[in-house]
Every structure is written in C-alpha cells, then in structure tokens.
Amino acid sequence: MILEKVAEKVLHPAELEFDDLHKALGNLNHSDLDFGDIYIQHTMHESWMIDESTVKNGNFHISQGLGVRAVSGEKSSLAYSDEVSANAIRQSVKSARSISRIGQDAAVPVFAGVDGNDLYKDVNPLESLDRTLKIKLLQDMDKYARDSSPLVRQFSASISGSFRYVLVAATDGTLAADIRPLISLRCSVVVEKNGRRESGGAGGGTRGSFDFFFEPVGNTTRAMFYVDDAIRQALVKLESVEAPAGPMTVVLASGKSGVLIHEAVGHGLEGDSCRKNTSLFSKMMGQKVSSPFCTVVDDGTIPGSPGSLNIDDEGNRTRRNVLIENGIVTSFMYDRHNASLMGTTSTGNGRRMSYSCIPITRMTNTYMMPGESEPEEIISSVKHGVYAVDFAGGQVDTTSGQFIFETDEAYMIENGKVTVPIKSATLIGDAIKVMSNISMVGNDLAFDPGLGACGKKGQRVRVGIGIPTLKIDSITVGGTKS
C-alpha cells in the first residue's frame, strides 16, 4: 500500500510511526480549533541543461520537511521545519497551536486511510534512465536541430525529473499518502534569415518515466518532435507580418490556447476569491455567464497529466468538478479552509508548493468540453479574423474579469482560410463578455503537452489546460496595423 511505502521513506528513518502523528495531532487539537493537519514531504530532483552544444548545468538534490497547520475561523497558522523528527513535529505543533490559546483539549478520531486515485505508477523516474543517457538525449537534440535547418543559430534544451513522497494526517482522522513522479523536457531555438532573428520553443512532460520522450510521434520520437515544433514556430515567425487592430472574430486553436480559459475564467472560480468577493463570479452561482455552448471543467484525475494528483495536499481524493455547465455556473473550486467557511466541502483543490507553504485553492486540469463543430467548419465560417494557436503570457483582473493576452503564434483568417502569420497580436476583453460571444465549439478537445504551471500567492504548481477549437464572434485585437 502507498501509506506503508511512504511511511517507510518519510517516517521510519526518523523512528516515527503513525501513532506519533496521532499523538501530535492530539496535542494540536482543542475545542477552539476548527481543524489542523501535519504535512510531510520528501523530494528527489534532478535536472540537466545543454546550451550551445555544451552541457552547462547539472543538478541533483534531496529535500524534505514538514508543516503543521492550525485553522480557527478565518485565521490559520503554519509552522514548518526542514527536519523530519519527533522534536520538529513537537516544536511545530507548539508554534501552530498558538493561533488560539483558548479552548479545551479535544480528541482526534482514529485514523481512517484515504483511498486516493490510481493515476500514475509509484516508480522513481530518476532511475528510469541513466544520467549519461539523459545528457546524450540533449546532445542528440542539439545535433538534430542544427542538422534540420541551416537557419538555426542557437539551441538549448533541459531535462528534469522529480520523485515526491507526501503524507498528510489531520485532526478529523484523515490519513493519506501519495508518491508523485514528474518529468519535463524543454527546448528552444533561435533562427536567422536576412538579418532577422526569431525564436521558438516546445516541450512536454508527464507523471511517468523518461521512456515517455522516446515514444514514437509520427515518424520520429517525442523528444525530436519537440525540436521540430520549436524550429517550425521560429520559421513561421520569420514570415510574420504586423498584426491588425480592432474588434474582430477570433478562433482559438485546440490545446495550448486553453490558457485563456485557465486565466480569464478558472481563477475567478476558485473558492478563496469567491468567498472574499474579489471575483466577478462571486455572486453568480446558478447564473448564466457564457454562451450555452460552454461547459468548463476542472479535473484532477486525468492520467499522466502533471496537473493530476491521486490526492490533493490536504489528503482529499481529487475529482472531476463541473464549474460551468451549458453557460451556467454550477460549482466553485475549494480547499478545505475556504470550503468550511462557505458551509461546503473540499472539491480536492487544496494544493501547496511545498511543506513550507500553506495550502490554498488551486486548479488542477482546467478545460472546456468539446462541442459538435468540425474545426475546418469553424475556420471556414470566418471571413476576416485571427487564428490564435499559442500565447506568450497575459494578465487578468479576477475582480473585473478584464484580461490582456499576448499571442505567441497566430495567423490571419481571410475568406475562410488560414493565411499569413502575424506578430505582436494581443487579445483584450472581459471574461463574461468574451465567453458569451462564443458561437461555435469544436469536437477536437486537446490538452497542452504537459508544461503548464500556475503561480498564485507566491506558490507555483503544475497544472493542465485544454480546449477544443472555438469561435469568439468579437474580441478586441491589439496590434500595430490599423
């Protein structure tokens, strides 16, 4: 069982047992405390980087620690240590309990193990490929890129993997564990033609072994497909022209362009911002916020996705949550603290970057469900517009829903056909208006390749995004060509 494997790794070396955690929670718990928990983590991480045909960085480290949290009303405290020991737990419990010194001691129920999902194997990915072969893969990618086009001027790539053990014990009797593999491969390229330089980047990741990057994709391997894609992007940009400006129809490509849904809609449906009325969706439960073609889901149970978890960081089993159904808000996402303050239960969205961070409401894999239209049908319905394939970044105000996103790969649509690539195009609008302007949704739901990460309140965690091809009838495009 996972619990026994995690205990063997994080508890037994410190001569600790589950009973020691139960006793520590008993010392933490009292009648004025809503709940508390102990989170223990052990992580192994390895990374390598090649730049300009030279291996310039190699890193391996092991980190571990524990965090003790106490919650009383809207107040919460966290005490943590980078040492896992009986004394570290005792001192952290003493510090965390100081959030409230009033109240009688309260008993902690007998531990009840939580059955998590079974989304990935508990096999250490760092051991799935020898270090020399990881370096050779990067070198092979470098040579492949330079042999692919005489226009390539620079190439860099990095490979990384981690293996994390997680144990959560709480005052309500929760006892849960997870063993989380994670791997990533990224590459970037710079090309030059007639004095003009452009860049492209690609990569992917999964919760599995490094064998993932050697799997066939088309007539090559996944790793070399990333190189091809990075070069393709850079070469496309060499031919790009100035972007138009003004209100127009925009088609979002399936896959990575789902970042717009993640940012403009997903963050606004997180329970902490809704509870504090800092989201435009705060008072809109059960109300229409988009066209009836739109159903938005957050799902932490997609096998292999870096955004998926067997349990969240509060010990709750992750699940599929329908946030917007046929245009109507049906659910928010909750961690345990915000759920308790709003009179509901956690949706499995309590996440933390490490033991030194307090868990907060976070997305897992957020995506829009597919519709019935063929992608070609959507494109052909547009006389004049923009086809946005990927985004470089953006900013969102969750209170108003106003956003601005910069495209990284985009094209003009003219008379129903995708034509010239454009540069420096931005999409500007507000979430509800844009969602209400969605008139066609494709049947081609696709997800990002596994590099998605999200920052919030100083914490960065891995997430997944997905979207089918969709048509937005009107959105403001910011460009340099009037």
Q: What residue segments make up the domains of the chain, in order of their start?
A: 2-238, 242-478
Q: What DSSP character marks residue 244?
A: B
Q: Are 339 and 309 in contact (CB under 8 A)?
A: no
Residue with tokens 């049908």: 377
Helix (H) and strand (E) counts in the chain: 10, 27
> 2-238: CATH homologous superfamily?
PmbA/TldD superfamily (3.30.2290.10)
| For residue 148, pLDDT beyond 80 | yes
State pLDDT tens for residues 183-231.
999 999 999 999 999 999 999 999 999 999 999 999 999 999 999 999 9
343: left (phi over 0), alpha (psi -120 to 50) or beta: left
Q: What is the rounded CA–CA span in Å between residue 35 and residue 170? A: 7
Position 431 scores a pLDDT of 95
The secondary structure element, H or E, covering residue 224 is helix 222-238
Quick one: 466 exposed, middle or buried, by C-beta within 10 A (0-12, 13-18, 19+)?
buried
Average pLDDT, the chain: 96
Q: What DSSP character marks residue 279?
A: S
Quick one: 31 exposed, middle or buried, by C-beta within 10 A (0-12, 13-18, 19+)?
exposed
Pairing of strands 152-170, 112-113: unpaired
Position 1 scores a pLDDT of 86
State pLDDT tens for residues 107-119.
899 999 999 999 9
Q: What DSSP character marks residue 94?
A: H
Position 102 scores a pLDDT of 59
The secondary structure element, H or E, covering residue 386 is strand 384-396
Name the maximum alpha-carbon separation found in the chain. 77
pTM of the model: 0.96
Q: Say whether 374 sits in a helix, a strand or coil.
A: coil
Q: Are 280 and 432 in contact (CB under 8 A)?
A: yes
State pLDDT tens for residues 311-359.
999 999 999 999 999 999 999 999 999 999 999 999 999 999 999 999 9
HSE-CB at 70 with a 13 A cutoff on CA atoms is 24
Q: What is the rounded CA–CA span in Å between residue 406 and residue 392? A: 6
Q: What is the rounded CA–CA span in Å between residue 317 and residue 305? A: 16
